[in-house]
């Protein structure tokens, strides 16, 4: 994660989306992707924050 | 060990993930062809997405893995569309084009419409409607069902891409579904499908 926060956050999002969809298929959770679009904003913010933190550490 | 001290396999990660997914798809295909199992392909698709996500999280220290991110984005689209595609594939597109209104005298029937608006007005139907079942679908367009007051219903309404409104309860987007069941029984069972468009049920 240290060098490529965007890759890490993308992976996290893919894994969460896949898990949510599996829970929906299993009937455990009624997953409606449309409700979760603000997660994209959170992901972009998280990528920026992790990128800044990684740069500070490497300086 | 990489020259820069990282230990993850770098570009090989994408090949490892692709190999694992190919093996899973091959095993599933073989199991289905041999009649050993009915493979839940949609669950397999979601599992592949989780695998890609986990690989990216692990591999983030060794490289950007842009190819794997693109593959993950493609899988996300496929997962999101898979349920909508199921509804679209299940819905017949035959029947006609334009506007159609049915005022049946009895329940227990199927109504299909291709493109346009189909209205199913059950207010003139001979009571009791409870204990009967109706299936109705529209390929592309709108399906409106009007239920007489006081009739207990159990409804499963789906739209592959579009909107479903059942007695004011609204869902929209891909694979929009509303299930409704009145407490009283027996019910009039309604199975309502629109591939692309809108389903509305009102009294």
DSSP state of B35: T
Answer yes or no: is pLDDT of B7 > 70. no
Contact assessment for residue B154 and residue B189, using Cβ atoms and an 8 Å cutoff: yes
Which has the minimum average pLDDT: B2-6, B83-87, B190-194? B2-6
Cα B6 versus chain centre, distance: 43
Nearest chain A alpha carbon to B67: A7
Tell me how far apart the alpha carbons of residues B175 and B64 are, in angstroms, rounded to a whole number. 33
**Mean predicted confidence (pLDDT) in B6-13:** 60
Q: Per-residue confidence at A4, pLDDT binned at 50, 70, 90? A: confident
Contact assessment for residue B16 and residue B55, using Cβ atoms and an 8 Å cutoff: yes
pLDDT in tens, A31-55: 777 677 788 888 888 888 888 877 7
Answer yes or no: is pLDDT of B66 > 70. yes
Q: Find, among B139, B200, B140, the residue nearest to B164 by Cα.
A: B200
Answer yes or no: is pLDDT of B9 > 60. no
3-state secondary structure of B43: helix
Contact assessment for residue B159 and residue B198, using Cβ atoms and an 8 Å cutoff: yes
Q: Do A19 and B63 touch (CB under 8 A)?
A: no
Answer yes or no: is pLDDT of A1 > 60. no
Q: Give pLDDT, residue B63.
A: 83
Peptide bond into B186 cis (omega under 30): yes
Q: Give pLDDT, residue A24.
A: 85
Nearest chain B alpha carbon to A8: B57
B8 touches chain A (CB under 8 A): no
pLDDT-above-70 percentage for chain B: 94
Query: From the CB of residue B194, how many other CB atoms can be counted at a distance below 10 Å?
Result: 30
Answer yes or no: is pLDDT of B6 > 70. no
Q: Strand order of the sheet with strand B109-121?
A: B97-102, B109-121, B133-146, B188-202, B153-166, B169-181
Q: Do A25 and B43 touch (CB under 8 A)?
A: yes
**Beta bridge partner(s), residue B189:** B133, B154
Q: Per-residue confidence at A13, pLDDT binned at 50, 70, 90? A: very high
The complex's ipTM? 0.80
**Mean predicted confidence (pLDDT) in A9-21:** 91
Contact assessment for residue B53 and residue A15, using Cβ atoms and an 8 Å cutoff: yes
pLDDT-above-70 percentage for chain A: 92
Chain A interface mutation, best of B38, B48, B58, B79, highest count of A Cβ atoms under 10 Å: B79
């Amino acid at each position: 994660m240290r060098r490529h926060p965007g890759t890490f956050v993308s992976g996290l999002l893919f894994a969460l989306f896949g898990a949510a969809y599996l829970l929906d298929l299993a009937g455990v959770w009624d997953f409606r992707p449309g409700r979760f679009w603000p997660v994209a904003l959170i992901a972009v913010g998280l990528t920026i924050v992790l990128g800044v933190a990684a740069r500070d550490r490497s300086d | 060990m990489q020259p820069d001290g990282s230990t993850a396999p770098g570009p090989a990660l994408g090949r490892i993930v692709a190999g694992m997914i190919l093996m899973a798809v091959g095993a599933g295909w073989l199991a289905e062809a041999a009649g050993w199992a009915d493979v839940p392909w949609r669950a397999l698709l979601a599992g592949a997405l989780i695998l890609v996500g986990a690989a990216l999280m692990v591999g983030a220290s060794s490289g950007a893995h842009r190819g794997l991110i693109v593959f993950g984005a493609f899988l996300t689209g496929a997962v999101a569309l898979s349920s909508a595609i199921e509804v679209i594939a299940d819905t017949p597109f035959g029947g006609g084009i334009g506007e159609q209104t049915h005022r049946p005298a009895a329940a227990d029937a199927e109504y299909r419409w291709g493109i346009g608006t189909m209205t199913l007005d059950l207010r003139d139907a001979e009571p009791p409607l409870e204990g009967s079942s109706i299936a109705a679908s529209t390929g592309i367009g709108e399906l409106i069902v009007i239920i007489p007051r006081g009739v207990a219903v159990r409804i499963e309404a789906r739209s592959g891409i579009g909107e479903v409104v059942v007695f004011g309860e609204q869902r929209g987007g891909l694979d929009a579904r509303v299930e409704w069941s009145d407490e009283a029984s027996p019910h009039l069972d309604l199975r309502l499908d629109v591939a692309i468009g809108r389903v509305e049920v009102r009294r």
